[in-house]
A and B are shown apart, each in its own frame.
Chain A
Amino acid sequence: MRPQWRATGALRRSAVLGAGGLAWAVALGEPAVLVLTVPLLLISLPALWRRPRRAPSIETSLLHASLREGEGVSLDLAMRADDDVEQITRVMTPQRLVVGRPDGGRIVARWPPPRQLQVSPRRWGRVVVGERVALTSAWAGFRWGPVAPADRPLTVLPSAPPYDSRAEQPRPKGLVGAHRSTQPGQGSELAGIRAFQPGDRLRRINWRVSARTGTLHTTTTRAEQDAGLLLVVDLLSEHGASGGVGGSASSLDLTVRAAAALAEHAAAQGDRVALKPVGGRARPVPAGVGRRHLRRVLGALADVRPAASPYDDATRLNLRVGAGTTVIILSPLLAEAIGTTAATLTRRGIPTVVIDTLPDDLVPDLPDRDQALVDLAWRMRRLDRGGVLSALDAIGCPVVPWRGRGTVDDVMRDLGRRGEQPRVHS
């Protein structure tokens, strides 16, 4: 049913008092009533005279379909047949961790309003932006609405915290890429100078050394190879409360934002990036390169939802890791399956790093339960986790807490050095 213009309470009040007062004053001969009510009658007459004849049509649109958490986007409203409109009221549908401006997403202003509604989601994910709109005709005579225009979906990509790494990928592989290989090949990084061998390119001959030694020498370089990064994100559970950008971060917030930062860094390096969610509701992203692929990874990260049960899907974890790929597991390490996976990958000789995303100051928030019992259960959980961390440390799988820039530098260098050493397969 299409909304219609209806008389406002103000028009009813002024019209009834004005007209009724006039009739009363004339019928009963009460001039005082006339003095009191004629101004009200006068205020209702232009409202009635300029009553709207046409129903307007409104349409809202978002300036961007996706943005980073913490950024803002304008929720524009366009109206047709607005001749009769004098005032507009817009109220954004309130949502947790979605900030509206001005005044919490509410505008009461003359038409056309000086500014539009601004929407600023504070947390990554999918948001549906809705609002209700009411219009008032001239002299506050008639109201149209409130109506709810079509909701607008908005993809909120995780904000990548400042991240940079100077460590090389442990074991790059392939023909081309940006990473220095341990193997000699066609690159720009000097590997050494050695005696000329059949098959060497003539342009690689180092004439200065050859002249000094009397025999032909060539300059050798290291190959430059590409590398891959497999991000395994643990969605088996979410621990801690999320306060959005600038607020407290849950384990899932840390996981998603860290994964976004790592993916962006790898994409900027030209590396292949793949995403493998464990548990929860999310879609995996196969390995790929480039900005478009990065958008795909970030979109998949924006879609993740934690599992309903911490045991969801954990047993079906099957990672296919290609050559030259480094695996980074982002997890609060409270599920045994994640520790087992990290240990298995490490034993297979795949460079694997675990980033611990359990918030430091996390305490269980279960006010309706026996606190002593909750504390005991949490301590037992932490002890289990400590056992997993010790076991991973014992087999050489590095576990580092997420701290932004340079988080994995040291462990990557260690893994690189380890990769250069001869391995014994048992």
Chain B
Amino acid sequence: MSALGTWLRAFWGMRHWPVSALFLRAAMVLAPPAALLVAGVAGDHPPVTVTIVVASLSLAFALAPDSGAGLLALASVVAWWTLVGDDGLHPSVLVAAVLLMVAHVAGLLAAYGPSAVPVDPGLGSLWVGRGAWVLLVAPVVWWVARAAQGTDAQQALWQAGLLVAVLAVAAVGATLKLPQARDDGVGR
């Protein structure tokens, strides 16, 4: 009941939010379901129940940008794309990748501070640039995967990728468990 009350208060308080904050929330709410629905272009239309689940998670993500709802929403979209049987490498997957990045960056900017504060132009431009930069890799990966599809080199490619993936997961796991921050010796 209290969680529902918190959400209702958050909805009511949106009236006073600046346009940039509303824009971020709109991106967080709409981008994951849109990335899901784009799979329909590739041939597999998501059922209504899945769409509702993703939309609900996206809504929760917009209300609590630092929570795990965002991870679940984005993971649900990625999971659905694994079920796209006919052509997983349809060009529409690039659109989905962009939408996922938009949702992620919007959530990241929204989590910086209180909801009613407008987005700092410096931070906004910084993250738009970063997002656009890392998105450049998506068409490259898509093109390589598309080129390697159905060839003999695909097996070796996946094995190399597996090794990289294991190392990356190990590195991420080791880093997230951060040791105690060292005191620099300067007291307040």
| Residues of A participating in the B interface, judged by any CB pair closer than 8 Å | 2, 4-44, 48, 51-59, 80-81, 87, 89, 91, 103-104, 106-110, 114, 134, 136, 139-140, 142, 144, 149-150
| The one of A8, A17, A106 that contacts B78, using a Cβ cutoff of 8 Å | A17
| The one of A58, A109, A136 that contacts B122, using a Cβ cutoff of 8 Å | A109
B116 within 8 A of A: yes
A88 to B80, CA, bound (A): 37
Is A42 a contact partner of B137 (Cβ separation < 8 A)? yes
Contacts of B6 in A (CB 8 A): none
What are 21 A-B pairs at a CB distance below 8 A? Answer: A13-B70, A15-B172, A19-B169, A20-B169, A26-B162, A27-B165, A35-B145, A36-B77, A39-B101, A39-B134, A48-B171, A52-B181, A54-B181, A54-B182, A54-B183, A54-B184, A55-B182, A108-B113, A108-B114, A108-B123, A144-B181
Given contacts A54-B184, A80-B184, 4 further A-B contacts (CB under 8 A): A19-B169, A36-B81, A106-B113, A144-B181
Question: Nearest Cβ distance between residue B34 and chain A, in whole angstroms?
Answer: 13
A53 to B164, CA, bound (A): 26
B48 within 8 A of A: no
Is B104 a contact partner of A40 (Cβ separation < 8 A)? yes
Is B184 a contact partner of A57 (Cβ separation < 8 A)? yes
A87 to B110, CA, bound (A): 13
A58 to B157, CA, bound (A): 50
Question: Nearest Cβ distance between residue B89 and chain A, in whole angstroms?
Answer: 6
Is A33 a contact partner of B97 (Cβ separation < 8 A)? no
Is B135 a contact partner of A39 (Cβ separation < 8 A)? yes
Contacts of B178 in A (CB 8 A): 4-7, 51, 142
B37 within 8 A of A: no
Contacts of A53 in B (CB 8 A): 181-182
| Range for the number of chain B residues in contact with chain A | 35 or more
Contacts of A13 in B (CB 8 A): 70-71, 74, 104, 107
Is A81 a contact partner of B138 (Cβ separation < 8 A)? no
Is A40 a contact partner of B101 (Cβ separation < 8 A)? yes
- In the complex, which residues 152-188 of chain B have their Cβ closer than 8 Å to any Cβ of chain A? 158, 161-162, 164-166, 168-169, 171-172, 175-176, 178, 180-184, 186-188
* 7 closest residue pairs by CB, A with B: A32-B88, A31-B145, A108-B113, A9-B66, A10-B108, A89-B113, A26-B162
Contacts of B63 in A (CB 8 A): none
Contacts of B74 in A (CB 8 A): 13, 17, 40
Contacts of B176 in A (CB 8 A): 7, 11-12, 15
Contacts of A58 in B (CB 8 A): 188
A106 to B112, CA, bound (A): 12
Question: Nearest Cβ distance between residue B96 and chain A, in whole angstroms?
Answer: 6
